[in-house]
């Protein structure tokens, strides 16, 4: 069994695992969005594709997109234009390198996991800006610039919310953060009570993180970059065929990745309070994916309920509410960390 | 700038509650090709024509906002009603076509007809694979006449 320890064998295995989980997950989330959204609007949604409940609709849509001609507009910067979707997709998938699915089921247990996470997830701004600039289309340009302004504004509360978690856990490794949520919080008699950080006083941080995450995804209520009534489709306007599919899958994959991060940082990740030992390795992926599913449902639920914010309201929310609150959160967490 | 912005807290949560309730309610959808939808009796399905009542006055064609009614006719001499009288002239309908590819179901032609030659019928199953077949001629329009519901009783 020496080939199991081979670096390249493990690399291929991890790569296949992550790609499988992310792409299948994205298709499942697309299907969930179609069905949940239509039922929230008292419709039925896809019904015939695949025979029952339209389960094959995302696959059929994907195949349709692949058949479409891959257009690039006159005057566009072909290289940048063609490469932009892959930058977004890559930034999304690279996040999963550090997300732990179990104590040992992790791409790489980096000591700077949280730092790597924030750095790599902000790379997608670059892809969006590339797409907006290279399309040679004013809708795309305005959409790309709006996206850049929005993603930069909401990157700050996101980072500041994570800083509070890092302070509370005392480590930047995501495995370490999950372990910290497994530690004994307090004891009642001989019972050791452990709880995820959302219960240990990070509820404000969690709210800030989720708001900023939805804004990072540029989904309703924060979808000004692709506001279809104003900008046609923003930076996606000129994309078709497989490149549009990449953006589309990327959006849903990053829903999963941001939900996985939120679940790991605030909801205890792969761990269940009170369960220890080898069994966690077995249950881990299921537990994490359940938490991810709940968060993804909330994001979909918000999309089909709330209206879009205006551009100035969006910036006001980020700069005058979320960032001061996140700083306050850091201050409170630090004080509690030092005092207790 | 943000002086007049009310904090939208109860409204947002209320909206979430509404969509959550809708999610678990059964969607009021009729699965049409499998299940027949039953329209209300006075539904605007298709316009039918009573050829005998039509006097080729062209009012419907002129009032039609989409110009989707095509009428052609000619005059025919009728024998005088009394011996020695003047021969009468009667307009006869040659062509009465409604293009349902253009029609927007406003019903102005039905309203404007002074001789009660046009009626609404609730039938709706006349979709076609070729758009040219949506042009119903006067024979086809007359066929719909059998499906027209009885008019409501007159008010006293």
Burial of B26 (0-12, 13-18, 19+ CB in 10 A): exposed
Residue A4: band (very low, low, confident or very high) from pLDDT cuts 50, 70, 90? low
Write the pLDDT tens digit of every residue in B133-144. Answer: 999 988 888 988
DSSP B107: -
Tell me what pLDDT residue A43 has: 87
What mean pLDDT is predicted for residues A273-299?
A: 82
For every residue of chain A, which 3-state class applies, written as one string?
Answer: CHHHHCHHHHHHHHHHHHHHHHHHHHHHHHHHHHHHHHHHCCCCCCCCCCCCCCCCHHHHHHHHHHHCCCCCCCCCCHHHHHHHHHHHHHHHHHHHHCCCCCCCCCCCCCCCHHHHHHHHHCCHHHHHHHHHHHCCCHHHHHHHHHHHHHHHHHHHHHHHHHHHHHHHHCCCCHHHHHHHHHCCCEEECCEEECCCCCCCCCHHHHHHHHHHHHHHCCCCCCCHHHCHHHHCCHHHCCCCHHHHHHHHHHHHHHHHHHHHHHHHHHCCCCCCCCCCCCHHHHHHHHHHHHHHHHHHHHHHHHHCCCCCCCHHHHHHHHHHHHHHHHHHHHHHHHHHHHHC
> What ipTM does the predicted assembly reach?
0.73
CA distance A329 to A137: 42
Instruction: Provide the token pair at A180.
Output: 């910290």
Residue pair A311/A46 in contact (Cβ under 8 Å)? The answer is: no
CA distance A236 to A141: 10
Of B16, B18, B22, nearest to A39 by CB-CB distance is: B22
More confident residue, A298 or A227: A298
Instruction: Please say if the pLDDT value at position B3 is more than 60.
Output: no
| Chain B nearest C-alpha distance from A39 (Å) | 5
Tell me what pLDDT residue B108 has: 92
Write the pLDDT tens digit of every residue in A210-256. Answer: 989 888 888 888 888 877 778 887 888 888 888 888 888 888 888 88
CA distance A19 to A16: 5
Closest CA to A149 of A88, A225, A85, A86: A225
Write the pLDDT tens digit of every residue in A77-106. Answer: 888 888 888 888 888 888 888 888 877 777
Residue A321: band (very low, low, confident or very high) from pLDDT cuts 50, 70, 90? confident
- Between chains, do A301 and B19 touch, taking CB under 8 Å as contact? yes
Write the pLDDT tens digit of every residue in A22-56. Answer: 888 888 999 999 999 888 888 888 888 888 888 88
How far is residue A193 CA from its own chain's centroid? 30
- Number of structural domains in chain A: 1
Residue pair A160/A323 in contact (Cβ under 8 Å)? The answer is: yes
Q: Which residues of B are less than 8 Å from A312 in CB distance?
A: 1
What mean pLDDT is predicted for residues A303-319?
A: 85
Residue pair A240/A66 in contact (Cβ under 8 Å)? The answer is: no
Tell me what pLDDT residue A264 has: 87
Residue A6: band (very low, low, confident or very high) from pLDDT cuts 50, 70, 90? confident
Write the pLDDT tens digit of every residue in B32-44. Answer: 888 888 888 888 8
Closest CA to A273 of A337, A336, A200, A202: A200
* Strand order, beta sheet including B135-136: B69-78, B88-99, B135-136
- Between chains, do B15 and A301 touch, taking CB under 8 Å as contact? no
Computed over its alpha carbons, how large is the radius of gyration of chain B?
25
Q: Reduce the DSSP state of residue B153 to 3 states and report it.
A: coil
CA distance A167 to A186: 19
Token pair 């709330």 in the structure block, residue: A306
Tell me what pLDDT residue B6 has: 63
Tell me what pLDDT residue A3 has: 63
Instruction: Please say if the pLDDT value at position A69 is more than 90.
Output: no
Tell me what pLDDT residue B4 has: 57
Tell me what pLDDT residue A297 has: 92
Burial of A243 (0-12, 13-18, 19+ CB in 10 A): buried
Q: Which residues of A are less than 8 Å from B28 in CB distance?
A: 42
What mean pLDDT is predicted for residues A159-164?
A: 89
Q: What is the residue range of A141's domain?
A: 2-339
Tell me what pLDDT residue A97 has: 84
- Between chains, do B23 and A47 touch, taking CB under 8 Å as contact? no
Instruction: Please say if the pLDDT value at position A1 is more than 60.
Output: no
- Between chains, do B27 and A313 touch, taking CB under 8 Å as contact? no
What mean pLDDT is predicted for residues B72-79?
A: 88
Q: Which residues of A are less than 8 Å from B19 in CB distance?
A: 40, 301, 304-305
Q: Which residues of B are less than 8 Å from A54 in CB distance?
A: none
Residue of B2, B5, B23, B31 to mutate, testing the A interface (most A Cβ within 10 Å of its Cβ): B23
pLDDT averaged over every residue in chain A: 84
Domains of chain B: 46-147 (3.30.70.3270)
Q: Are strands B69-78 and B46-49 parallel, antiparallel or unpaired?
A: unpaired
| Chain A nearest C-alpha distance from B40 (Å) | 21
What mean pLDDT is predicted for residues B27-34?
A: 84
Instruction: Provide the token pair at A238.
Output: 């000129």
What mean pLDDT is predicted for residues B86-110?
A: 89
Q: Reduce the DSSP state of residue B72 to 3 states and report it.
A: strand
More confident residue, A269 or A332: A332
Phi, psi values for residue B118, rounded to 5°: -115, 140
Closest CA to B56 of B131, B12, B114: B114
Tell me what pLDDT residue B151 has: 81
Instruction: Please say if the pLDDT value at position B1 is more than 60.
Output: no
């Amino acid at each position: 069994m020496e080939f199991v320890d081979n670096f390249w064998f493990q690399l291929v295995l991890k790569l296949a695992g992550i790609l499988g989980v992310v792409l299948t997950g994205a298709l499942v989330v697309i299907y969930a969005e179609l069905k949940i959204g239509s039922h929230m609007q008292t419709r039925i949604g896809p019904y015939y594709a695949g025979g029952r409940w339209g389960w094959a609709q995302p696959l059929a849509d994907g195949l349709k997109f692949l058949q479409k001609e891959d257009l690039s507009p006159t005057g566009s910067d072909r290289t940048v234009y063609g490469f932009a979707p892959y930058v977004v997709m890559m930034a999304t998938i690279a996040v999963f390198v550090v997300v732990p699915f179990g104590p040992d089921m992790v791409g790489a247990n980096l000591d700077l996991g949280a730092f790597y996470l924030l750095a790599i997830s902000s790379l997608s701004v670059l892809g969006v800006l590339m797409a907006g600039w290279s399309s040679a289309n004013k809708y795309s340009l305005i959409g790309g610039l709006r996206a850049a302004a929005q993603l930069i504004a909401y990157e700050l509360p996101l980072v500041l919310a994570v800083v509070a978690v890092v302070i509370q856990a005392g480590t930047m490794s995501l495995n370490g953060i999950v372990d910290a949520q497994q530690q004994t919080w307090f004891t009642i008699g001989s019972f050791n009570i452990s709880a995820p950080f959302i219960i240990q006083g990070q509820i404000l941080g969690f709210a800030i993180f989720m708001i900023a995450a939805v804004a990072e995804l540029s989904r309703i209520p924060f979808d000004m970059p692709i506001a279809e009534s104003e900008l046609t489709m923003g930076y996606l306007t000129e994309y078709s065929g497989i490149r549009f599919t990449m953006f589309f899958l990327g959006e849903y994959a990053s829903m999963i990745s941001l939900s996985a991060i939120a679940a790991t940082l605030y909801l205890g990740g792969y761990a269940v309070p009170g369960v220890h030992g080898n069994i966690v390795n077995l249950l881990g992926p299921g537990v994490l994916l359940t938490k991810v599913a709940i968060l993804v449902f909330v994001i979909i639920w918000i999309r089909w309920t709330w209206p879009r914010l205006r551009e100035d309201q969006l910036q006001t929310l980020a700069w005058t509410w979320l960032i001061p609150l996140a700083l306050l959160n850091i201050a409170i967490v630090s004080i509690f960390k030092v005092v207790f | 700038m943000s002086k007049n912005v009310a904090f939208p807290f109860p409204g947002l949560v209320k909206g979430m509650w509404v969509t959550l309730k809708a999610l678990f309610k059964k969607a009021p959808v009729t699965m049409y090709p499998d299940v027949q939808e039953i329209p209300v009796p006075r539904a605007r399905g298709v316009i039918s024509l009573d050829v005998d009542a039509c006097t080729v006055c062209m009012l419907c064609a002129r009032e039609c906002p989409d110009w989707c009614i095509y009428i052609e006719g000619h005059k025919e001499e009728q024998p005088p009603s009394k011996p020695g009288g003047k021969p009468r002239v009667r307009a006869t309908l040659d062509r009465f076509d409604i293009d349902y590819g253009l029609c927007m179901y406003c019903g102005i032609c039905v309203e404007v007809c002074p001789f009660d030659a046009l009626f609404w019928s609730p039938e709706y199953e006349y979709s076609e694979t070729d758009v040219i077949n949506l042009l119903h001629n006067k024979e086809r329009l007359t066929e719909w006449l059998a499906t027209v519901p009885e008019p409501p009783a007159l008010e006293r």
